[in-house]
Amino acid sequence: MDCVFCSICRGQEDALILDETDKTLAFAPLDHISEGHMLVIPKEHYESLLDIPEPTLCTVMKHVRTISRRLCSSDFDGVTC
């Protein structure tokens, strides 16, 4: 399987790792498109958002909220998902 997200989770692809849980990873891509651009992904591979089981999706979104709160408590004035 050739998945860049799984490679990042395994440490085989460069990315700026910002935070992680046992099931999710938050990172900034090296070719970010804006300041604060980051991604939160499940560590387990899924082909698309539609394939992620609801409990896992909830775990990802909780991590997104945690990261968003950190950003909003610093210099960022909002987040988009």
Q: List contacts with Zn ion (CB under 5 A).
A: 3, 5-6, 45
Instruction: Answer for the pair 79, 39: CB distance below 8 angstroms, yes or no.
Output: no
**Residue of this chain nearest to Zn ion (CB atom):** 3
Three-state secondary structure call for residue 28: strand
Q: Which of 10, 19, 2, 81 minimizes the C-alpha distance to 43?
A: 10
